Structure 1
């Protein structure tokens, strides 16, 4: 029997010296972390080796805690625009946005949690889920993967990985309640396809040795979207991050000493794979890892999924006039911190402009060199042309993005990088290819300024005639009027210059440089 290292019970941990090095969070997130763990706060106060005392007992909260005051939460949505009749007041507009796409969404999942299988004793199993089985967590459960040994076809987006009796636990199962919530039966919408087969076992599977493998580290099971596309794959990562908050009930919530099991048999490959380092320090598992074996998990989480109805962020209905989700901001900072992406020191007030160049068949900028030459004439602009492809590591891409003030590119998944722009930045979607809301909404969620091409008579399309799927703006290449392009870039640069956080960042950098010169 294979055994992974033990996740110690909380009561036992309290008798031991806590490993504070496991708290690898951005400094500004530490006080929110301790806010939800009073037992850890007490331990830190008494422990001479705890270096986090300055972050304790702060009157702040993420925004999903039951006693979190509106003015004390991580961030308050900005709603400068008209809600267009959705609600009756500005505050209602803010709270609607908060529930749709911020930590209020996490709060809703926590409020919805219901026991589907009740334990009676500590060694029993348990299963707890939010409505429609969008998020679930369980303890001491069994999964039977023996049938996969006789299954030759690759598994991806399948709803028949498990069948009757292939998943279960020793607990009091509320089967009618479980089946009622299993109403979103689709590969990436809920855990209904898998958990509808949950069965009450006659024995405690771990205690009585019914498992070929016992996994004792916490495990996150992931049904993931298209890994070749940044927009879709980051819906996986954003939902995983949100799930950490839904699961914020113990001190190891944000630990990377956890396993990730990808719910397919394909070997995981993605240009964005570095992002997993923000969540786990261990190699990824897939269904081949346990093919032909019965596996028991002591602590398992079924996270929020990328294509949930009214989910995050692929199907998010966003009220008009609002922007800046604290959840998206925290996710961005979490990933940048965990991946150690540097923020460059500023030596001047020049506007850093990054232009994404496409080497694909469609949506190329035909007169790209001419456009670049035009804006390079402005001595206040520092212009960088980049190709974000497999020849550049994803961490290097994030480094460039994080240090960009104006980010320019034609419609495409690469614009998902906007989630890692600084708060003063502008996303200039050069042309949205008739998909008007995709990156406009994502920019709103992140809280960065969005602009796009406005004058149809100053853009020209070039179609090569080889695309047979019917005319569509995404299957052409384009040239843009140089003067109009320059005008829009100037508008973006002006926004950056006037943004209070940009001005403060430049001032602090100049002050730091002045102090450094004095010391030298």
Structure 2
């Protein structure tokens, strides 16, 4: 397989180079993917063009994930080792997409942690397993380094990648084991990991004599296909949705009743959502919660309208409410990831404050699921208030809600 040179890599990105002072030249790269609008990624082609190293003990797929056979992990250094009688594999994983960070070239080359794992990987002889009476773990195990473990959207990207790889490799995702390679503290999403997958362990708790018959390096969080909103289609998104619903034992379908629509408004409040936060300040809140709910009720008089704070509910309760929702309304935020679980006939109204960029992640969710979508971004500073609260003008609400009502009940 051809490993791209730095020149080739840089040519495939839009580059912004800045030069520092004469006494210290600093080259920084602001990277972003080329426009992928209209792109459909053939994930099965990853299997056809697999890279093999050390016999079949290292298999790289699509420069996004890899399978290591009889892999050993040093829990003290987080170093991976595989049996090999030849030189260590030379493989590179894609990176540098939607985060938009400004990094030095050196930092950029290492942004995908799988490249760090690759660089530090060592090899050993098969005799080492017998000599040290290593314990062979036969359950397929995914090594996962979570990027924002507390955030529903980023967790969803990682769950999707795990499901996608399991699907491609003919694993049952409910039976695979998960090995967290990070040091993130416990959070409210841990229970969902337990529900979706098999045994969950952390790298610093595994015995040093474990050898994994099949250890899979999961796609790095920011490189998940779900994190590329310009894709025309997301492979197996319906199957992924059904996997989540089945895991929670929830129905996959809801009938549309235009005489009794269900409208859900996601509300946001200040609270400390995870232990790594030093404060409980939450961005992107409605300034006029009561007024928003009142307007929604007036537009949908006689229908069921509810305003919810997601953090008061378990993940199963959250998903169940969304599967029974016909129209979803909310500020841009991780909670809008629930668009994935809306019925196919449903619609979403996403709202952006003036101080937030117009991100299209959840618009992409709607496109991939073929649900209806509208959005509005505030441009008037008079609608922005302290504590990150935004006033939503009544006419904006009424106009967009009526549009969605017509589109849902044509």
Q: TM-score range by the shorter chain?
A: 0.7 to 0.9
Find the counterpart in structure 2 of residue 509 from structure 1: none
Q: Secondary structure of the residue that 2:286 maps to in structure 1? A: coil
Q: Does 1:168 align with 2:82?
A: yes
Deviations 1:32-74 (A, max 9, x none): xxxxxxxxxxxxxxxxxxxxxxxxxxxxxxxxxxxxxxxxxxx
Find the counterpart in structure 2 of residue 98 from structure 1: 40
For residue 477 of structure 1, the aligned residue among 389, 392, 399 is 389
Q: Does 1:447 align with 2:382?
A: no
For residue 336 of structure 1, the aligned residue among 219, 225, 245 is 245
* Cα gap change, 1:300 to 1:211, in 2 (>3 Å): farther
Q: Does 1:295 align with 2:232?
A: no
Find the counterpart in structure 2 of residue 492 from structure 1: 404
Q: By how many angstroms is 1:115 displaced?
A: 0.8
Q: Distance in 1 between matches of 2:172 and 2:253?
A: 27
* Cα gap change, 1:173 to 1:245, in 2 (>3 Å): farther
Find the counterpart in structure 1 of residue 202 from structure 2: 286
* Cα gap change, 1:131 to 1:373, in 2 (>3 Å): closer
Q: By how many angstroms is 1:203 displaced?
A: 3.2
Deviations 1:102-149 (A, max 9, x none): xx2x22322331111115xxxxxx2211254x211122232333xx2x
* Cα gap change, 1:301 to 1:229, in 2 (>3 Å): same
Q: Distance in 2 between matches of 1:264 and 1:436?
A: 27
Q: Distance in 1 between matches of 2:92 and 2:188?
A: 33
Q: Secondary structure of the residue that 1:241 maps to in structure 2? A: helix
Deviations 1:251-283 (A, max 9, x none): xx1152332110024454333632442222x3x
Q: Conserved in 1, the CA contact under 8 Å of 2:66 and 2:218?
A: yes
Q: Conserved in 1, the CA contact under 8 Å of 2:142 and 2:215?
A: yes
Q: Does 1:129 align with 2:60?
A: yes
Deviations 1:322-365 (A, max 9, x none): 4x534222211111112212468659432211001111243221
Alignment of 1:76-155 (within 5 A): 96-99=38-41, 104=42, 106-118=43-55, 126-132=57-63, 134-145=64-75, 148=76
Q: By how many angstroms is 1:229 displaced?
A: 1.1
Q: Distance in 2 between matches of 1:490 and 1:182?
A: 46
Q: Conserved in 2, the CA contact under 8 Å of 1:278 and 1:335?
A: yes
Q: Does 1:306 align with 2:215?
A: no
Q: Conserved in 1, the CA contact under 8 Å of 2:254 and 2:324?
A: no
Deviations 1:262-321 (A, max 9, x none): 0024454333632442222x3x10012126x2321122211222123xx4122x2626xx
Alignment of 1:214-293 (within 5 A): 214-248=136-170, 253-254=171-172, 256-271=174-189, 273-280=191-198, 282=199, 284-290=200-206, 293=208
* Cα gap change, 1:421 to 1:286, in 2 (>3 Å): same
Please tell me the root mean square deviation across aligned C-alpha atoms, in Å: 2.9
Q: Distance in 1 between matches of 2:404 and 2:384?
A: 24
* Cα gap change, 1:108 to 1:333, in 2 (>3 Å): same
Alignment of 1:420-459 (within 5 A): 420-431=341-352, 433-453=356-376, 456=379
Q: Does 1:354 align with 2:264?
A: yes
Q: Secondary structure of the residue that 2:47 maps to in structure 1? A: helix
Q: By how many angstroms is 1:450 displaced?
A: 1.6
Find the counterpart in structure 2 of residue 379 from structure 1: 301
Q: Secondary structure of the residue that 1:173 maps to in structure 2? A: coil
Q: Distance in 2 between matches of 1:387 and 1:118?
A: 52
* Cα gap change, 1:427 to 1:353, in 2 (>3 Å): same
Deviations 1:401-432 (A, max 9, x none): 11111111111111111111111211111225
Q: Conserved in 2, the CA contact under 8 Å of 1:218 and 1:300?
A: yes
Q: Distance in 1 between matches of 2:359 and 2:93?
A: 34
Find the counterpart in structure 2 of residue 3 from structure 1: none
More strand by share: 2
* Cα gap change, 1:374 to 1:459, in 2 (>3 Å): farther
Structure 2 alignment gaps of length 5 or more: 1-34, 96-107, 271-280
TM-score (norm 1): 0.61
TM-score (norm 2): 0.76
* Cα gap change, 1:456 to 1:381, in 2 (>3 Å): farther
For residue 363 of structure 1, the aligned residue among 284, 296, 299 is 284
Q: Secondary structure of the residue that 2:263 maps to in structure 1? A: strand
Q: Secondary structure of the residue that 2:362 maps to in structure 1? A: helix
Find the counterpart in structure 1 of residue 274 from structure 2: none
* Cα gap change, 1:374 to 1:256, in 2 (>3 Å): closer
Q: Distance in 2 between matches of 1:493 and 1:232?
A: 30
Q: Conserved in 2, the CA contact under 8 Å of 1:267 and 1:286?
A: no
Alignment of 1:4-83 (within 5 A): none
Q: Distance in 2 between matches of 1:430 and 1:304?
A: 30
